[in-house]
């Protein structure tokens, strides 16, 4: 039996991969992933068995990684963008292992998830409690997603939206948030963080619709809470030091 790594490659650029991720990718003899992600790690693919897949072929990728890891001496890397546990491949692989009652040598290698990558480009919007919600309704019903958005908005959490590709669902979600936030609440829109086509926009709840054309699959949106403010090109959520100390 071999070993299976589920590797988070971060937001996309090589310099945002962890040292552990780089070491694992270099030592693997089999690498499996979504074709777009494989292009992002082209520097470690030479001389390896590379198995690519299209969008919506996650089950194929996961099962293939398991089968390859069951073969003797194979070191297999199944890659996810960002972190493999955050809307990535880790959950599916472990679910399949449990359903098939398999026992293999497996390790998750964490990576920089999109929320953290986008937040770093905006300043420090996640310094206080925040919620991450995927707006993809391919697997989760839209009504369930909007219920979560409502609760996050009611709780005054900073809200991070992943996968805002369904424009109607995005509009509905932002309409809910706007009921609990002031019109000038900062909204960060970060497309393709740390990739060649990176685009960073800092706007507000009242004006975010002006940038609808910049929002897609590789976009992460961050909506501030009642404390979040803008200073120059930074989005800042105070941690709370000003409540206890003189700053």
What DSSP state is assigned to residue 227? T
Sheet bearing 49-53, strands edge to edge: 49-53, 30-34, 75-80, 3-8, 105-109
Whole-number Å distance between alpha carbons of 109 and 122:
26
Q: What per-residue confidence (pLDDT) applies to 41? A: 97
Q: Is 203 exposed, middle or buried (0-12, 13-18, 19+ CB in 10 A)?
A: middle
Nearest 5°: the CA angle 10, 12, 164 is 85
Whole-number Å distance between alpha carbons of 78 and 34:
9
Residue 213: which residues within 8 A CB-CB, separation 6 or more?
none
Question: Do the beta carbons of residue 65 and residue 111 sit within 8 Å?
Answer: no
Domains of the chain: 3-112 (3.40.1010.10), 115-236 (3.30.950.10)
Tens-of-pLDDT digits for all 247 residues of the chain? 899 999 999 998 999 999 999 999 999 999 999 999 999 999 999 999 999 999 889 999 999 999 999 999 999 999 999 999 999 999 999 999 999 999 999 999 999 999 999 999 999 999 999 999 999 999 999 999 999 999 999 999 999 999 999 999 999 999 999 999 999 999 999 999 999 999 999 999 999 999 999 999 999 999 999 999 999 999 999 998 888 888 8
pTM of the complete model: 0.94
For 137, other C-beta atoms within 10 Å of its C-beta total 17
């Amino acid at each position: 039996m071999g070993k299976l790594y589920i590797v988070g490659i971060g937001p996309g650029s090589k310099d945002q991969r962890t040292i552990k991720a780089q070491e694992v990718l270099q030592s693997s003899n089999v690498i499996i992933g979504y074709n777009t992600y494989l292009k992002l790690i082209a520097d470690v693919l030479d001389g390896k068995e590379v198995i690519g897949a299209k969008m919506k072929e996650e089950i194929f990728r996961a099962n293939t990684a398991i089968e390859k890891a069951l073969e003797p001496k194979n070191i297999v890397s199944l890659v996810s963008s960002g972190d493999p546990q955050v809307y990535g491949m880790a959950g599916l692989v472990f679910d399949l292992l449990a359903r098939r009652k398999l026992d293999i040598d497996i390790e998750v290698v964490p990576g920089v998830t999109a929320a953290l990558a986008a937040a770093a480009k905006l300043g420090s919007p996640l310094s206080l409690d925040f919620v991450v919600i995927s707006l993809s309704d391919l697997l989760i019903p839209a009504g369930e997603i909007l219920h979560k958005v409502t609760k996050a908005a009611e709780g005054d959490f900073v809200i991070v939206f992943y996968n805002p590709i369904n424009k109607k669902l995005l509009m509905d979600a932002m309409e809910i948030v706007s009921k609990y936030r002031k019109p000038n609440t900062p909204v960060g829109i970060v497309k393709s963080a740390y990739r060649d086509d990176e685009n960073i926009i800092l706007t507000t709840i009242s004006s975010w619709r002006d940038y609808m054309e910049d929002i897609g699959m590789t976009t992460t949106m961050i909506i501030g809470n009642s404390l979040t403010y803008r200073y120059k090109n930074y989005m800042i959520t105070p941690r709370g030091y000003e409540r206890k100390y003189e700053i």
